Structure formats: C-alpha cells, structure tokens
Amino acid sequence: MIADDCLLYQEICSMNDTKILQGDPDNLQVWEQDCLMEFKPSKCEAITFPNKAKPVKVEYRLLDVILTAVTSAKYLGGPHKQ
C-alpha cells in the first residue's frame, strides 16, 4: 500500500518549532512500518507561508531525504464537490 494525500503543518515561530514539526515525519517512518504503508519522499514537498520579514528557514526530511521546498502546491485531499 501507498499512503496518499497526507498533510503535516505547524506554526513556526522559532527553531524549536521546526524541531517539533520534524518530529512528525520522523514518527511517520515508524507508522509506515507498523501499517505496512510506504511514503515516497520524491513525491513529497515542503511549503512555507511566511508572515515575517525574516522567516525561520529549515530543510525538512522524510526517510533521510530532504523534501523539495516549493512556493505553491496542489492539495488533493478534503471534501470533493459533486
């Protein structure tokens, strides 16, 4: 199985917040093994919505792969209109 449409987010005000957020992908590595799922870091992205003149910059990782930083992304999850 492959996990699809997963979204992690956290308000980032300090470097400590980035460490907290990085804990989520780290925990997903354990979850995917327990649930026999697979995340593909090559299909994952990191996006930042800064509201500060000097936003905290950090690289996030999944399975020891740095996630590609993007400025926009398509969100496929959520309610679908019929």
pLDDT averaged per 10 residues, the chain (length 82)? 72 90 89 86 88 82 92 71 54
pLDDT recorded at residue 21: 93
Residue 63 lies in a domain: yes
pLDDT recorded at residue 82: 52
Predicted structure pTM score: 0.74
* Two tokens, residue 5: 């449409």
Residue 26 lies in a domain: yes
Nearest to 12 by CA among 56, 73, 53, 63: 56
pLDDT recorded at residue 6: 76
pLDDT recorded at residue 59: 93
Please tell me the total count of domains within the chain.
Answer: 1
Residue 77 lies in a domain: no
Domain around 48:
15-70
Residue 82 lies in a domain: no
pLDDT recorded at residue 60: 93
Rounded CA-CA distance 36/33 in Å is 5
